[in-house]
A = this chain, B = another copy of it.
């Protein structure tokens, strides 16, 4: 199966100098993949001109004259009909690519993909979902920043989408769903969590109950549901902590000649640990709930390595037939909901 990915090359903090080399690295490792690089031709052409002929044949440049800025409000985004982000998403809509990847403005990506690729029935808005590593394996957390103002119904829908994703990818037919809160006791939380808990409890999802922040990385549940504000802050705080601990570890290793020698001796161990804990490895969150194709959101500050990870994830999602699997499961779920009713 040939996989074609539309790459929004202008998005992110660094733009083409990161996205284009990442796309080249990705193509090199995936001989069955093609990439459509979307953005300003004059910015992209120089960056691919030295690429190997074997790569060039699987790489197409699609001109798009406008760029969605990182801090642009939705109203002005809408007027940019020829933005690299929108054009990349339309390539998916038109079947020219099966997935789009962008490191650009999250709010704009959610909005445009929702209009271009539509959501599944019963799903109001796509949610940003990521498989976070845990002590036990991984957990699907959503929403991580796509929707900063959520209703209880949205949180419930995140539970449905997370369940569908976990069952589609992990062959886990009854994934547990946890609702992120400030405590596990029933009285804890705010109006939003209490009403969302009622909806989840009344559904046929495998609802676990409230979980707390530390349950995420413990892997207490297969799916973690929260509003996009909380999810985004939790995710970025974790990133910051990871970086601080890496700095501390480096400082300890470099604190004197003896420590340096000891650190040097332990280098292979530290290196494996560093690789495992590297946040760049975990780049690329899926916009879950879209029925028209796969959309991956990369961290805005991603470097070449991290952006390549997002492209790999997009190719995996297409290769795994993610959208079709979710659609199938959605139909089964609705049928069984009908039976239960």
Q: Which chain A residues have a beta carbon within 8 Å of chain B's beta carbons? A: 70-73, 106-107, 133-135, 145, 148-149, 180, 182-183, 185-191, 212-218, 226, 228-230, 232-245, 247-249, 252-253, 255, 259, 262-263, 265-270, 272-273, 276-277
Complex CA–CA separation, A149 to B242 (angstroms)? 29
* CB contact under 8 A between A237 and B265, given known A71-B186, A135-B247: no
A236 engages B262 (CB within 8 Å)? no
Answer whether A148 and B240 are a contact pair too, CB < 8 Å, given A187-B73, A213-B235: no
The verdict on A217 contacting B229 (CB below 8 Å), with A185-B71, A262-B265 known, is: no
Picked from B213, B232, B247, B273, the residue with its CB within 8 Å of the CB of A240 is B213
Known pairs A217-B237, A217-B243, A248-B276 / 5 extra A-B pairs, C-beta < 8 Å: A213-B232, A213-B236, A214-B237, A216-B237, A218-B240
Q: Are B70 and A185 in contact (CB under 8 A)?
A: yes
A180 to B235, CA, bound (A): 13
Contacts of A214 in B (CB 8 A): 236-237, 239-240, 243
Known contacts A148-B182, A233-B233; is-contact A262 B273 (Cβ 8 Å): no
Closest Cβ neighbor of A192 among chain B residues: B229
Find chain B residues with CB under 8 A from A272 CB: 252, 255
A215 to chain B, nearest CB (A): 7
A190 partner, pick from B149, B236, B241, B245, beta carbons under 8 A: B149
Complex contacts, A73 vs chain B, CB 8 Å: 187
Whether B232 and A234, one on each chain, are in contact in the complex, defined by CB atoms closer than 8 angstroms, is no
A105 to chain B minimum Cβ distance, whole angstroms, is 9
Closest residue of B by beta carbon distance from A259: B269
CA distance A217 to B253 in the complex (A): 20
Q: Report whether A232 and B276 are in contact in the complex, using a CB–CB cutoff of 8 Å.
A: no
A228 touching B268, Cβ below 8 Å: no
